[in-house]
Amino acid sequence: MKKRPYLHADAHVLARARLTPEDFDSIDASVPDHINAINAHTTAPRSARSGARTHRSRCAPLSNTGGKIELVCDDGKIKQVIPRSHYDSEHCFVDWVQFTVHEDTFQILEGGVVDQEIMMAASLACESIFGFGITSKRDKGMHFYRTSYNLGDKYGFVCYGGQRNTVHFVLNGSGCAAARRGWERRLFDFLESSMNAGITRIDLAHDDIKGELYTVDDLDKAYDDGKFNNGGRDPNIEHRGNWKKPNGKGRTIYIGNRNNGRYFRGYEKGKQLGDPNSPWVRMEVEFKSVDRIVPFDILKRPQDYYAAAYPILATFSHDLKRIHTIQKTTQISYERTKRWLKRQCGPALNLMLDIEGSPKAVLDMIIREGKLPKGVLPPSFKYTGHQLHHDKLEHMPVSLSFLSS
């Protein structure tokens, strides 16, 4: 298995065979702030725990804007670790996450392990973390993997086969909302104990449900005022929707290049969901591991990384819990359903009422038991149904090392 090389500013680090996180913190304190270059591209040993996540040095040269840049060498490429700043307000949440681990993370049996056993172990791990596991196999692969599987009730995917013996997980926005409370910390612990683990994408979101902080027009003006500039050239900007004559269908502003490691989206979320009068604005920052390293710590302190992404985000003060977003989404979806029913089915219901004579008789004829419109039922890990690892769970070992945390 290929090991990742590191960059260290102090030669004495190489003489130590095993380092703990405390060792790196001590090294950080001893490195002078005026270091402006990394002088060695060397290979360091892995951490003391076999199969654990690699600890990278935090030696940081000064940037041309006076701030610190934390660099690591990952697969022969120098990458920047995304910055963070301490922020007490919990004003954002994780709305999308993709991560990859080596298949040996699920090596729970001695000898050969077939693909089905790997997927069963991955499903069991997902249930332990999120509250739901793999529910079905898809017809084709995705993200350049040979096979893919549905996670929960369309809450994401698990991909496997052909990519350096790795397993790739995608948890979408609905999955983040449906996951059992505290999943972010459990995922952090899982990644820390997995082999060759890495976050490849994570979206952090803030919902201004009442439109008290910024409208999309305010975000557009903030760009002109340099509040999305981190000291270099102004990032790219794009507009979607009817900005000249807003029509209630929602507008979006994109800042940055999605092919890079950081990307901003601001859009009228309430209007997107179907309420033309909603002031709800969502502001998202998408981080990817293209030219950056995404630390696992982002799962525990997302607000710190969100606030450090752009100057405009460092000034937020509103606390926000995901539950508020889920409640508002459900409310708008229900109101949209009522409007649709009146517009599309009102005349037909009037006709049936004249013929049948009573509302109860009409409802008895048209109601479908057990069916609810999409979006009205809040996403939850409780409703995912049958999962892959339930098929042969009795044959799985009682002790699963990768779930011990």
Distance CA 320, CA 269 (A): 15
Residue 201, pLDDT score = 96
Distance CA 161, CA 166 (A): 7
Residue 25, pLDDT score = 65
Residue 53, pLDDT score = 41
Residue 210, pLDDT score = 84
Average pLDDT value for the chain: 75
| C-beta of residue 271 within 8 angstroms of C-beta of residue 250 | yes
Each domain of the chain, given as residue ranges in start order, spans: 1-81, 84-405
The closest alpha carbon to 191, from 69, 105, 314, belongs to: 105
Q: What is the CA radius of gyration of the chain?
A: 25
| C-beta of residue 241 within 8 angstroms of C-beta of residue 276 | no
- Phi, psi torsion values for 284, nearest 5 degrees: -120, 145
Residue 373, pLDDT score = 66
Up-side HSE of residue 141: CA atoms within 13 Å toward CB? Answer: 12
Residue 34 per-residue DSSP state: T
- Per-residue burial over 136-165, b if 16 or more Cβ lie within 10 Å, else e, is eeeeebeeebebbbbbbbebbbbbbbeeee
Percentages helix, strand, coil for the chain, rounded to the nearest 5? 35, 20, 45
Residue 246, pLDDT score = 92
pLDDT tens, position by position, for the chain (405 residues)? 444 333 333 333 333 334 556 655 665 665 544 344 334 433 333 333 333 444 444 444 443 333 455 665 666 666 666 665 554 556 788 999 999 999 989 875 444 567 888 899 999 999 999 999 999 999 999 999 999 999 998 999 999 998 889 999 999 998 998 899 899 999 999 999 999 999 999 999 988 888 888 899 999 999 999 999 987 788 999 999 999 999 999 999 999 998 888 899 999 988 988 888 889 899 999 999 887 889 899 999 888 888 888 889 887 655 444 445 555 566 667 777 777 777 788 888 888 888 888 888 888 888 877 666 665 566 666 666 677 766 654 444 433 444 444
Residue 48, pLDDT score = 34
Distance CA 83, CA 309 (A): 7
